[in-house]
Copies of this chain bind each other. A is one copy, B any other.
Amino acid sequence: MATPTHHVLIVGGGFGGLWAARALATVDVRITLVDRQNHHLFQPLLYQVATAGLSAPDIAAPLRHILRRQRNVEVQLAEVTRIDVDARAVVLADDGRIGYDTLVLATGATHAYFGNDDWRTHAPGLKTLDDALYLRRQLLLAFERAEAEPDPAARAAWLSFAIIGGGPTGVEMAGTLAEIARHTLRHEFRHINPADARVRLIEAGPRVLSSFPEALSARARQQLERLGVEVSTGVAVSHIDATGYRLGDQHVAARTVVWAAGVAASPLARSLGAPLDKAGRVQVMPDLCVPGHPEIFVAGDLAAVQHDGRPVPGVAPAAKQMGRHVADTIRARISGESVDAPKAVNAPDAFRYRDYGNLATIGRMAAVVHVGRLQLSGAPAWWFWLLAHVFFLIGFRNRLAVLLDWTWSYWSYQRGARIILGGAGGGEDGHRDPDEQRMSGPSDAGGAP
C-alpha cells in the first residue's frame, strides 16, 4: 500500500485533537499530531491533582501510547508558535516548519484575567498538570506557614483562601479545599486548627454554576455552605496582590487566591487572520472550518460555535464531538462522499452539538447533575458524577488507580498525594515568581487544550 499523500496536521492533543486523530484511523491520510506536552490530559479531574487527591499520572496518558497502534498517525512533541496560512505550514518554537494539506487547530483555551495580567502572579489558574502541581504546593505550604507563624493576623492570612469564579472548577476547588481543612488535616498540626481556614468562593454573576438551572445552582450553594465554604455572589474582585484581594471597598487578607474565571482562547488563533470573538475564539463556519479557508478546521474550546442560538459550551463532550465531526468532514472530502452528520441550519455538513447533560461535583456526597429532564443533587448526583468520570478516564490502568485512590480517600478522609515538591523548605513567600510561570501568555500558543 502506498503512503497516502494527503497530510492532516492536528495541533493539540486534548479532547478535540485526539478525538479527530482517532476518528481518522481508517481514512487514507497521513496524520501528524503536534502537542507541547507528551500527554493527553483528563482536564475535568485536574482539580483533584491540585487538591492532592490524585497523582499527576493518574489523569494523563502519553499521546504516543494512546495512538501507538494507529499506523497512519505520527506524534510530535513541539510547540507551534504561528500559522503561515499562505504557505500552508505551521512554524515551531525552534523555527522548524510542518506543512499541511488540512490543518486541525485544537489548542484550547486558558483563563482570562480581563486585562489584569499582573493578577496571574498572585492568583494562578488551573489548566495544565504543572498548574495543578504548583497549586497543590501552594495550598499545602499555606498550612505549613500558618503553623510556623506566631502572629495571629499573619496566621489568619495564611489560612484565608479565595477562589475566584463560581463555575464548575471554582466550585470543585472550594468544596474540596474546605474538606481538606476540616477533615484531611485534622490532628496533624500543633499550633493551628486547620478547620479554622476560611474558604471563600467569589462569583461576579448572580449565582454559582450559572450553566445549570437555577434550582440546582441554589442546591449547589447550600451544599457548599454546609461544607463550610463562604459563597459570595454578585461581587467582583477589583484588585489582587501578594497580601490578598479587594472586594468592593474592602481589603481581605489572603495568601492563597485561585483563579477560575473567564475564558481566553489560545493566542495561536490570531495568526489565522480569521474573525475572533471577545474571548479570542475563532468564529468558524457551521462545518467548523475557518471562513475563506476550507482547509483549516478548528475544534474544541478554541472554536466559537452556535447551537440552537446559544454558544456551544467549552466542555469535554463538545470538544470530542467537534473533533469527530472534523474527521468526518475530512473523510468525506477524501473519499468524495458527503458527510454522514445530521443536516441542520440549512448548511450541509454543519456541526450539531448533542448536549448529554451537565455535571459538577462539590465534595463528599455533594454534586449536581442536569441530564435532560433529570435534575439530581446531593448523594445521588455524586454517585452519578463518580461513575461517569471514572468511566470516561482514558486507559484501564488510570481507571483502576483513580478508583483505588478514591475508595481509600473516601473511607479514610485522607488524600494520597500530599507531597510538596520543589524545594519546600526555602524562604519563599508562597506566591508565584513571575519568572517561573508556566501558564498562558505567548508560550501557551501550541499545545494541550
A-side interface residues toward B, CB under 8 Å? 35-39, 52, 55-58, 60, 62, 64-65, 68-69, 74-79, 93-94, 129-130, 133, 140-141, 144, 147-148, 185, 187-190, 396-398, 400-401, 404-405, 408, 412, 414, 416-427, 438, 443, 446-447
Contacts and interface: CB of A to CB of B under 8 A. Distances in A.
Contact of A93 (B52, B77, B418, B425): B425
B401 A60 contact: no
A414 B401 CA distance: 14
28 contacts: A36-B425, A37-B425, A38-B418, A39-B418, A39-B420, A55-B58, A57-B419, A62-B188, A64-B188, A65-B188, A65-B414, A65-B418, A68-B187, A69-B187, A77-B144, A77-B420, A77-B425, A78-B148, A79-B426, A94-B427, A397-B412, A397-B416, A400-B404, A401-B404, A401-B416, A404-B404, A423-B438, A423-B443
Nearest to A137: B38
Contacts of A425: 35-37, 77-79, 93, 446-447
Contacts of A62: 188, 418-419
Contacts of A447: 425
A188 B75 CA distance: 9
Residue in A74, A404, A423, A427 with the greatest tally of chain B CB atoms within 10 Å: A423
Contacts of A400: 404, 408
A39 B78 contact: no
B438 A130 contact: no
Given A76-B147, A77-B147, A93-B427, 18 more contacts: A35-B425, A36-B425, A38-B144, A39-B418, A55-B57, A55-B417, A57-B417, A77-B148, A77-B424, A129-B421, A130-B421, A130-B423, A397-B416, A400-B408, A404-B404, A422-B438, A423-B438, A425-B446
A425 B416 CA distance: 29
Q: How many copies does the complex hold?
A: 2
A383 to B, nearest CB: 22
B418 A57 contact: yes
Contacts of A408: 396-397, 400
Contacts of A64: 185, 188-189
Nearest to A418: B62
Nearest to A128: B421
Contacts of A185: 64
A129 B57 contact: no
Contacts of A148: 76-78
A125 to B, nearest CB: 16
Given A79-B426, A93-B427, A426-B93, A188 B68 contact: yes
Nearest to A437: B423
A154 B58 CA distance: 34
A148 B75 CA distance: 10
Contacts of A397: 405, 408, 412, 414, 416
B133 A421 contact: yes
Given A55-B56, A418-B62, A190 B74 contact: yes
A133 B133 CA distance: 12
A419 B422 CA distance: 17
Contacts of A144: 38, 77
Contacts of A426: 79, 93
Given A400-B408, A424-B77, A56 B419 contact: yes
A331 to B, nearest CB: 22
A392 B383 CA distance: 35
The 6 closest A-B pairs by CB, nearest first: A36-B425, A55-B55, A79-B425, A57-B417, A64-B188, A38-B420
